[in-house]
Amino acid sequence: MKILVLLKQTFDTEEKIVLSNGKVSEDGVKYVINPYDEYAVEEAVSIKEKHGGEVTVVTIGPPRVETALRAALAMGADKAIIVDDESVFGDEYMISKVLAAVAKRDTYDLILGGYMAVDDGSAQVGPRLAEELGIAHISTITNMEVHGNIVKVDKDVEGDIEIIEASMPVLVTAQQGLNEPRYPSLPGIMKAKKKPLERLTAADLGLNIEEILSKTEVLEQYLPQQKTAGKILQGELPEQVFELAEALRFEAKVV
C-alpha cells in the first residue's frame, strides 16, 4: 500500500502573533508540524506498521519546512518531498494544483492530511486535491480501519458520528481524536537523517504558473481589538433586560 501524507509547517500554537508592516512577523518564531497533519502522519505510519506499505510526506514551502519533514520521517515515514519554489506559494487553489501534480507522479492508495491548518483554518486543500485527482474524500475522521481495499471511518459531524465506507484510492482528513501522535525516538531521529528527501520546483512538475495563479489575495492583516471588561447589569430583571437592550442597540450597535 502506498500512502501520501499532506503536511504543512505552521507557527507553534503557543506563539504570540506579531504584525510588522501589515504582515505576520516570523522573527524568532518556533515552527511545528500543523497539529492536524500530525494526526495524519501518525495514522499513516500506524497503517503501514499493521498492513505494510510505504509512507511519503509532502509539503510546499521554503527551506525551513525541511525540519517538519524530518520530524515526520523520524515518526516513521519512509520518504519526503518538498516543493521549494516561491512561484507556487499561493492560496488553497494553487496549493491543491501543485499537490495534484506531485501526487500524479506516482500511484497512491490512500492520501491523508489534517482537516485544516491552524494558521488559516480554511479546510480546503484536502477536498480540493481529491477533486483534482478525481477520487473520493472524507473529512474530519476520528477513527479509521483498513480492510483490504476498503476504508471504514468515523466522521465527526457536529457532535455526532457518521460511519462511512469507501474504496481506495481515497483521501481522508484527520480530526482531533483520531489518534495520539508518537514522539520521534532517538533511533528514529538518526534514521530520518538518511531517508530520502526530494526537492522539486514548478518546472520539475511541468506546471504553467500562469494557469494556476491564486484566486484570492490578502489585502490586509490586523489583530482583533482587545476585549474590554465585562459589564454587570444591576436592578430587577425587567430593568436588566431594558439595560441590555439599550447596550446592544446604542453601544454594541448589533440590533
Cell of 155: 466522521
Same domain, 168 and 248: no
Is residue 130 in some structural domain?
Answer: yes
Buried/exposed code over 33-62 (b: 16+ C-beta within 10 A; e: otherwise): bbbbbbbbbbbbbbbbeeeebebbbbbbbe
pLDDT-derived band at 42 (thresholds 50, 70, 90) equals very high
3-state secondary structure of 251: helix
Cell of 102: 506531485
Same domain, 184 and 247: no
Sorted by sequence, the CB contacts under 8 Å of residue 96 that are 6+ apart come out as 124, 125, 128, 129, 131, 132
Buried/exposed code over 138-156 (b: 16+ C-beta within 10 A; e: otherwise): bbbbbbbebeeeebebbbb
Q: What is the pTM of this model?
A: 0.85
**Domain tally for the chain?**
2
Same domain, 255 and 179: no
Same domain, 157 and 182: yes
Identify the helix (H) or strand (E) that includes residue 187. Answer: helix 186-192
Same domain, 144 and 246: no
30/14 Cα distance (integer angstroms): 9
Task: Print the domain residue range for 232.
Answer: 225-255
Is residue 139 in some structural domain?
Answer: yes
pLDDT on residue 67: 93
pLDDT in tens, 196-254: 999 999 999 999 999 999 999 888 888 887 877 788 888 899 989 999 998 888 887 88
Same domain, 183 and 253: no
The CATH number that applies at residue 28 is 3.40.50.620
DSSP string, 104-141: TTS--SEEEEESS-TTT----HHHHHHHHHT-EEEEEE
Same domain, 252 and 196: no
How many CB atoms lie under 10 A from the CB of residue 201?
A: 13
pLDDT on residue 234: 85
Same domain, 47 and 157: yes
